[in-house]
C-alpha cells in the first residue's frame, strides 16, 4: 500500500461513486504503461524509478559533493519544468535543523525581470558560487539570458577555466546551444533524457543535481517513487490513489467545475504547488479542455481568498494536500494571566491545530458548495516526496488520456515563445 491516502468525506462522493470512471481510468493507465497513447515518445518518466541511469546518478552525487565543498551559493538557472520540480523538492525538504552545510540555493532564469537577477547577484555578494543551467532545448530565452550574465560573473571572478569548473549543464545529450557550449568550454554535462519532457523530468538529472546539492538523499526519493510506481501500475482502481484522483477530477468536470484549487497547509510546500500547477495546467489545458489549476496556502489565504471559495461563484473544487505529522513540533505554554485566551490550546501540539484546520476548512467549504478531496502523506521526507512526485505525474497522464488530450506537448507555450522572438526580431523569426 502507498503512504499517500485519499479521504472523500468532504467531496460529495466516494470510491464507489467514482466507479463509473473505472474503465476509462484503466484504459488510460494501459496507454501510459504500454505506450500506446498520443505523445508516447515522452513516456520515459513512467519507468524512471526502476531504470534510471545509475552511472549518471553517481556523477550527480560527485558533482553535488564538489559544489557543496566549493560553494556557499548555488544558482539553478532554468524555467518551467527545468526548475519547478527541483525548487519544490529543495523547499519541501528544507526544514530547520535537517540539512547542514548546504550552499544557499537561488533560482534564476525563470523570468525576464532584471530586478530578480540583480537581487540574486547582490545576495550572493562575494561568496563563492556555482551554477547549474538546465534547458532541454538549450535555446529558451529566459535561462539563456540569465546564464550569459552569471557566466560572465563567474569568469570575472575565477577566469575562464575556473568558471568552467563551476558551471554544470543539464541539457540534451547531443544537440542544442547549451550542449555545444558545454563541449567547447569543458563544462560537466548531465543529460535530459530524450523521452522525458520538462514537466515530467524532476526524477531525472534535471531535478536530481540541484536536489543533491541541497543535501537531500536522492536515492530515497527514487525509492519513494519506485514504491508509488508499483502502486500506480499494478493496483486495481479500488486501491489505486492515482486512478481515483484522476476519476475524482473527471467527476468534478462532469459537475461543471472549472477550477481546481490546490490547497496546502505549510508554506514550504508552496513550490510543490507551483510544480503541480505547471504539470496539470500545461498537460491538460488544450483544445478548450481542462481544469484551471489554482493554488492557495492555508491558513494564510483563508484570510484573503477564503471568502470567495466559501461563497463566491460555485465553479470550483479543492484538492487539499497535507502531512499527517509535522517534522517540527511546538507547544504553547500555559500563561498565568491568559489575556490572549489561548490557554485552552496549551500543551497541544501546534501541528494538531493545523490538522484540525484542514478538516474544519474542508467541512466549511463543502457546506458552502465547494467539494474537496483530501490527500495526505505521513510526514515530509525524501521517501514521501518521491511518492508524491510520481503519484501526481501518473495521475495527470491518466487524467489527460481520459480527457482525450496529449499530456506531453505544449503548443501554447511554443506559440508565445515564437511571438516574443518575432517581436524582438530574432533572425529567422
Q: So which residues are the catalytic ones?
A: 282, 303, 417
Q: Which three cell numbers stand for residue 319?
A: 484538492
Q: Is 136 in the site for ligand PA5 (CB under 6 A)?
A: yes
* Nearer to ligand PA5 among residue 135 and residue 240 (C-beta): 135
With b for 16 or more beta-carbon neighbours within 10 A and e for fewer, the 301-336 pattern comes to ebeebbeebeeeeeebbbbbbbbeebbeeeebeeee
* CA atoms within 13 A of residue 163's CA, in its CB half-sphere: 17
Residue sitting closest to ligand PA5 (CB)? 198
How many residues touch ligand PA5 (CB under 6 A)? 15
140 contributes a contact to ligand PA5 by CB under 6 A: yes
Distance of CA 53 to the CA centre of its chain: 21
**By CB under 6 A, which span of 19-27, 42-50, 157-165, 192-200 interacts with ligand PA5?**
192-200
Rounded CA gap, 275 and 29, in Å? 22
Span from 33-41, 66-74, 133-141, 318-326 in contact with ligand PA5 (CB under 6 A): 133-141
Stretch that binds ligand PA5, among 12-20, 135-143, 237-245, 285-293 (CB under 6 A): 135-143
Nearer to ligand PA5, 37 or 143 (CB): 143
Q: What is the DSSP string of 210-273?
A: HHHHTT--HHHHHHHHHHHHHHHHHS-GGG-HHHHHHHHHHHHHHTT--EEEEEESSGGGHHHH
Nearest CB to ligand PA5, comparing residues 323 and 403: 403
As a whole number of Å, the end-to-end CA separation of the chain is 52
d(CA 220, CA 284): 30
Stretch that binds ligand PA5, among 136-144, 296-304, 357-365, 383-391 (CB under 6 A): 136-144
Longest Cα–Cα distance in the chain: 74
Q: How far apart are CA 39 and CA 407, in angstroms?
A: 7
Asked if 137 interacts with ligand PA5 (CB under 6 A), we say: yes
Window 271-310: residues binding ligand PA5 (CB under 6 A): 282
Interface of this chain with ligand PA5, residues 68 to 87, rule: CB under 6 A: 79-82
Which is nearer to ligand PA5, 133 or 323 (by Cβ)?
133
State which residue, 347 or 412, has the beta carbon closest to ligand PA5: 412
- Whole-angstrom Cα distance, residue 112 to residue 355? 38
199 contacts ligand PA5 (rule: CB under 6 A): yes
- By the criterion CB under 6 A, which residues form the site for ligand PA5? 79-82, 135-137, 140, 143, 197-199, 282, 410, 413
Amino acid at each position: 500500500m502507498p503512504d499517500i491516502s485519499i479521504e472523500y468525506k468532504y467531496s460529495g462522493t466516494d470510491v464507489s461513486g467514482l466507479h463509473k470512471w473505472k474503465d476509462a481510468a484503466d484504459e488510460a493507465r494501459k496507454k501510459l504503461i504500454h505506450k500506446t497513447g498520443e505523445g508516447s515518445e515522452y513516456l520515459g518518466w513512467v519507468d524512471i524509478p526502476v531504470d534510471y541511469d545509475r552511472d549518471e546518478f553517481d556523477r550527480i552525487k560527485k558533482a553535488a559533493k564538489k559544489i557543496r565543498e566549493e560553494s556557499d551559493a548555488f544558482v539553478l538557472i532554468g524555467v518551467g519544468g527545468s526548475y519547478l520540480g527541483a525548487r519544490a523538492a529543495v523547499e519541501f525538504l528544507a526544514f530547520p535543523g535537517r540539512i547542514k552545510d548546504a550552499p544557499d540555493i537561488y533560482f534564476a532564469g525563470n523570468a525576464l525581470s532584471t530586478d530578480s537577477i540583480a537581487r540574486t547577484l547582490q545576495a550572493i555578494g562575494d561568496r563563492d558560487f556555482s551554477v547549474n543551467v538546465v534547458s532541454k532545448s538549450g535555446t529558451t530565452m529566459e535561462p539563456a539570458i540569465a546564464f550569459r550574465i552569471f557566466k560572465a560573473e563567474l569568469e570575472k571572478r575565477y577566469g575562464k577555466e575556473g568558471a568552467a569548473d563551476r558551471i554544470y549543464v543539464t541539457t540534451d545529450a547531443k544537440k542544442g546551444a547549451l550542449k555545444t557550449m558545454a563541449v567547447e568550454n569543458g563544462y560537466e554535462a548531465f543529460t535530459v533524457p530524450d523521452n522525458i519532457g520538462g514537466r515530467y523530468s524532476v526524477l531525472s538529472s534535471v531535478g536530481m543535481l540541484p536536489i543533491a546539492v541541497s543535501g537531500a538523499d536522492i536515492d530515497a526519493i527514487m525509492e519513494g517513487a519506485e514504491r508509488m510506481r508499483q502502486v500506480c501500475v499494478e493496483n486495481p482502481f479500488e486501491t489505486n490513489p492515482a486512478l481515483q484522483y484522476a476519476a475524482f477530477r473527471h467527476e468534478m468536470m462532469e459537475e461543471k467545475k472549472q477550477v481546481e484549487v490546490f490547497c496546502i497547509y505549510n508554506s514550504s510546500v508552496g513550490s510543490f504547488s507551483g510544480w503541480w500547477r505547471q504539470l496539470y495546467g500545461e498537460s491538460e489545458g488544450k483544445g478548450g479542455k481542462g481544469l484551471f489549476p489554482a493554488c492557495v496556502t492555508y491558513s494564510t489565504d483563508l484570510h484573503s481568498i477564503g471568502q470567495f471559495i466559501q461563497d463566491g461563484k460555485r465553479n470550483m473544487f479543492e484538492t487539499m494536500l497535507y502531512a499527517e505529522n509535522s517534522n517540527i513540533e511546538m507547544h504553547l505554554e500555559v500563561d498565568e494571566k491568559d489575556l490572549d485566551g489561548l490557554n485552552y490550546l496549551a500543551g497541544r501540539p501546534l501541528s494538531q491545530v493545523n490538522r484540525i484546520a484542514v478538516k474544519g476548512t474542508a467541512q466549511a467549504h463543502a457546506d458552502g458548495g465547494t467539494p474537496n478531496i483530501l490527500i495526505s502523506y505521513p510526514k515530509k521526507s525524501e521517501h514521501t516526496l518521491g511518492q508524491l512526485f510520481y503519484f501526481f505525474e501518473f495521475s495527470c497522464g491518466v487524467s489527460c488520456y481520459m480527457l482525450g488530450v496529449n499530456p506531453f506537448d505544449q503548443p501554447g507555450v511554443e506559440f508565445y515563445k515564437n511571438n516574443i522572438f518575432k517581436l524582438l526580431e530574432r533572425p529567422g523569426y
